[in-house]
Structure 1
Amino acid sequence: MSSELAYKIRQIREVETSGRGEFSQLIGIAKKTLEGIEQTGRVPKGDLLEAVCKKWPKYTLWLMTGQVDEVCGQVSPDIERARRELKQTGTGTN
C-alpha cells in the first residue's frame, strides 16, 4: 500500500505542478519529505494526504480508493491529463 500511495502522490504532482518544489510549497511540506516519499515509497502521513485532498479535492476518491466517479467530479490524474490534452487540441467538451 505504501508504494501505491507514493505513486499516486507523484502522479498528482506531475499533473498539477511544475515540480517537487512547487508541490511541496502548495501543500506545506518540505521538499525533502516529498522526495523521500516518492523515491522510497514511504507511507505519506495523514496530514500530507489531507493537504493534497484539500488542495486538489477532485483526486480524493482516486487517491484513497483507486476509484473514480466523473459524474461527481472525482477523477484520476490520467483523466485530468487527457482532458487537458483534448482542450489544447480544441476537441474537448469543457
Structure 2
Amino acid sequence: MASDLAKRIRLIREAETSGRAEFSQLIGISKKTIEGMEQTGRTPKGELLEAVCNTWPKYTLWLMTGQVNEEAGQISPEIEKARKAFKPTGTATD
C-alpha cells in the first residue's frame, strides 16, 4: 500500500511539472529515487520531503497533514489546478 506522503508527492509532481525528469531536476533528487518511491509507495525520506517543501512551500501543510489553509497560502494541487484552469471573464478590452 502506497504511503499518503508518496501519493501526495506524486500529485504535486503532476500539478507542477511535465514529468519525473523535470520534477527531480527542480528538487535536486534523482529521478531514480522518485520512480522508486512512486512505484513501491514507500514513505519518502526527510531529504525528499524537505526538497519538495522548499521548492513549493504552498503545499507544505497539505503534504504533511492533508489539510489546507487557503487564507495562509497553504493549498493542495487540486486547488492549484483549479486556479490555473480558471479564466477570468468580463468586458475589459485591454
User: When the two structures are superposed, what TM-score results if normalisation uses the length of structure 1?
Assistant: 0.90
Post-superposition offset of 1:2: 5.5
Superposed, which structure 2 residues align to 1:14-25 within 5 Å? 14-25=14-25
> For the aligned residues, what is the CA RMSD?
1.3
Letter in 1 for 2:73: G
Where is the helix percentage greater, Structure 1 or Structure 2?
1
Q: What is the number of residues matched between the two proteins? A: 89
Unaligned stretches of 5+ in structure 1? none
User: When the two structures are superposed, what TM-score results if normalisation uses the length of structure 2?
Assistant: 0.90
Bigger Rg, structure 1 or 2: 2
Superposed, which structure 2 residues align to 1:55-94 within 5 Å? 55-86=55-86, 89-91=87-89
Q: Secondary structure at the match of 1:38?
A: helix
Quote the residue 1:32 is aligned against.
32
- Native 8 Å contact 1:17 1:23 kept in 2: yes
List structure 1 segments (4+ residues) > 2 angstroms apart after TM superposition: none
* Percent of residue pairs identical: 72
State the alpha-carbon separation in 2 of the partners of residues 82 and 74 from structure 1.
14
Quote the residue 1:53 is aligned against.
53
